[in-house]
Amino acid sequence: MSEYKFIKWFEELGKKDVPLVGGKGANLGELTNAGIPVPPGFCVTAEAYKYFVSNVKVSKEDIRRAVGEKGVLAEVLANAPDEPRTLQDWIMDIVERTNVDDSRELMDNTELIRKLILAMPMPKEIADEVLDAYHKLSQRFNKDAVYVAVRSSATAEDLPEASFAGQQETYLDVYGDEDLLENVRKCWASLWTARATFYRAKQGFDHRKVYLSAVVQKMVNSETSGVMFTANPVTNNRNEIMINAAWGLGEAVVSGAVSPDEYIVEKGTWKIKEKYIAKKEVMVVRNPETGKGTVFVKVADFLGPEYVEKQVLTEEQIIEVAKMGAKIEEHYQYPQDIEWAYDADDGKLYIVQSRPITTLKEAPAEGEELEETEEMEVILKGLGASPGVGAGKVVIVLDINDIDKVKEGDVLVTTMTNPDMVPAMKRASAIVTDEGGRTCHAAIVGRELGIPTIVGTKEATKKLKDGMLITVDGTRGVVYKGIVKSLVKKEKEEKAEGKVVVAGAPLVTATEVKVNVSMPEVAERAAATGADGVGLLRAEHMILGIGAHPIKFIKEGKEEELVNKLVEGIRKVVEAFYPRRVWYRTLDAPTNEFRELPGGEDEPVERNPMLGWRGIRRGLDQPELLKAEFKAIKRLVDEGYDNIGVMLPLVSHPWQIRKAKEIALEVGLVPHKDVEWGVMIETPASALIIEDLIKEGIDFISFGTNDLTQYTLAIDRDNERVFKHYDEKHPAVLKLIENVIKACKKHGVETSICGQAGSDPKMVKLLVRLGIDSVSANPDAVELVRKTVAREEAKIRLEAARKALFE
């Protein structure tokens, strides 16, 4: 019997213990006792999680202190009793008010649950046992502390055999007491990721009866690692073993961040039937700076350029891994999905996880393979990862915030999927990725959901364009142009035929239709929409994406590095659109976004950051930051890019324009000569003093309707209680826009709009009639906006002709 209440060593566990430690923990115990080389460890049982959520009492004040009362919490707090309640009760209140099919709501609400769990201390009785077991594990290796992996292992009370593999988190290279306790709580919190909550809801599991065990396992210092399937999951051939291998830790293979080598081995004969040697650009290693956690590094830099296309495993190692897989399958009497690693310290093979393959299907009948016809034009190839055929409209997702763009029946195309994309993946008719192997996240989820999937194409996000109609053959790993009727089932074919668009001559409009760009990575895709330019290039993603507070870079003498990052990002956009104009908006990130960055500890805490230190206000208070942006623009101008405009955000007074110009001149950037100079009209102040702003010298203005509406109507657009009153077509907002357009027309200043309203056809119609010079829409709305503009301009011409005719 165990000496602990909340801890079980692997040696004490077997497959019967799934209800106590989940499938992952039970399998590690089973493997250990079967003589398989498993790194030693223990499980913090599901009983510990149950004890935590059932015994930790939380008051309303605790909630407000820990996570505030924004969003759903306002409703939860308003309806909850005054006396303290268990953590479980608060969690269920939030879950029961969550629509899991609304991706944004699901992500926001599950984030609140995770924050709440992480804000609560681990009960001492649990913490004492965890640390005692950790110290004993370390003593096995004659050390005070060892590196461990902390893995989540969930289980359902009513359905102990249920598999939740891949739904929760794993934390690698955890070291020391505090680090361990923190990561066990992170595992508990990961029971409430958006993907895990969505999965349980769709599978019909009772959230109240799903628990989580944290597996603590000695870390393998992986030289090479990967995943193997003891039956080929693509062809369903149970006589073949598929092995994926990459350098470093296996996280890169499982997540799909790297396209791994792939080896197919025949059972019994141990003949290596196929070898695919991939180009392995990145690998995951222990963070060399902190000694904790993991980081991605370039293979060429870490190991040497020759390792990028070098075979990961030797022939002997391939066969050793395959034989170990067969041994594990024989023990379980069922094909297995196994994670393995070779330890750099002792050169030995270790098994770190095994679970049943849940996606095997019956092999297709003889002669069932579909014939190719003249209509089947191959436009892309990759690795067939989930069998079947899917067809539909391409939707390219390069940011998690764009997953709502994927509608039912679309083809999801992305660099690589991650677990937060599962809601969108479920809606897709097929999935295509740039990276990944047949054991990556996209492949496994695609097979589990029965969605045809192709991975490792390398260029899907470049070759395929938003709105394209394609057919995806997940068995062969081939993408065909258009809807290939012979490959699509009748009911899907009928839907696909309804989506076919016959392209006509490109529309030419007097009102320019531009596009908003947030990330340089999407420049080519945005340019492919045929937009007349970029009406808004945001600086935030480029600056916040450098990995640290920009002021920290400058203070540490790294201004040159910051400027180079900006030059690199902006160049991608101005080059993709050249000679079409690109209007770059200087930094406009509120303090709460900056605070999350390394070096952001000194950011002020503001009650309402949207009304706070942002836009040109910050730029003039921290001129060194604005100067860095202007230096980047100046370099691009010197390179010959004469299609750049500079746009100042949140301007409310002429002196702000004057001061910004002085800073630009200090770095040699001449407004109106080197670059066009403009301002955002986002406040009633700027709209009401537009004549004064024009006198200060501007070439263009652009309406930021999101803020203009917010400030005009005194409505916090992030406040769900008042959002119903948020109306960009409110008479007051339209009156301000109309007056600004009239003043600009009078003085020859160009007008545009780049707020969300620019993608709304109803608003676009009004703006065209008010005489706006251009409209800047989101990339997916450019085509619709252009048609709307063309139609409205035609109506205006027709109305004028009729008026002249009848007068």
Which amino acids are annotated catalytic? 441, 754
Kind of pairing, strands 282-286 and 700-703?
unpaired
Please tell me the distance from the alpha carbon of residue 594 to that of residue 598, in angstroms, as a whole number: 9
Please tell me the distance from the alpha carbon of residue 22 to that of residue 38, in angstroms, as a whole number: 17
Q: Provide the total of helices (H) and of strands (E) in the chain, helices listed first.
A: 30, 31
| CB proximity list for 739: less than 8 A, separation 6 or greater | 687, 688, 690
The structure tokens 């999350």 sit at 596
Nearest to 704 by CA among 685, 723, 679, 729: 679
Provide Rg for the chain, Cα atoms. 29
Angle, helix 60-67 to helix 72-79, in steps of 10 degrees:
170
Kind of pairing, strands 750-753 and 700-703?
parallel
Nearest to 634 by CA among 676, 592, 594, 668: 668
The answer to whether the CB of 259 falls within 8 A of the CB of 444 is: no
Please tell me the distance from the alpha carbon of residue 433 to that of residue 456, in angstroms, as a whole number: 6
Please tell me the distance from the alpha carbon of residue 387 to that of residue 384, in angstroms, as a whole number: 7
Nearest to 472 by CA among 383, 548, 579: 383
Count CA within 13 A, CB hemisphere, residue 112.
Answer: 26
- CA pseudo-torsion sign 214, 215, 218, 219: negative
The answer to whether the CB of 690 falls within 8 A of the CB of 739 is: yes
The answer to whether the CB of 674 falls within 8 A of the CB of 652 is: no
Please tell me the distance from the alpha carbon of residue 256 to that of residue 250, in angstroms, as a whole number: 10
Please tell me the distance from the alpha carbon of residue 300 to that of residue 302, in angstroms, as a whole number: 6
Residue type, 780: D
The answer to whether the CB of 12 falls within 8 A of the CB of 2 is: yes
The answer to whether the CB of 604 falls within 8 A of the CB of 613 is: yes
Where does residue 489 rank: exposed (0-12), middle (13-18), buried (19+ CB within 10 A)? exposed
68: left (phi over 0), alpha (psi -120 to 50) or beta: left
The answer to whether the CB of 751 falls within 8 A of the CB of 743 is: no
> In the sheet where 7-9 sits, what is the strand order?
7-9, 41-44, 210-218, 148-156, 170-174
Where does residue 207 rank: exposed (0-12), middle (13-18), buried (19+ CB within 10 A)? middle
Please tell me the distance from the alpha carbon of residue 150 to that of residue 180, in angstroms, as a whole number: 8
CA dist 32 to 21, 26, 346, Å? Answer: 15, 10, 19
Q: What are phi and psi for residue 613, nearest 5 degrees? A: -85, 90
* Three-state SS sequence of 701-722: EEECHHHHHHHHHCCCCCCCCC
Nearest to 423 by CA among 440, 405, 439: 405
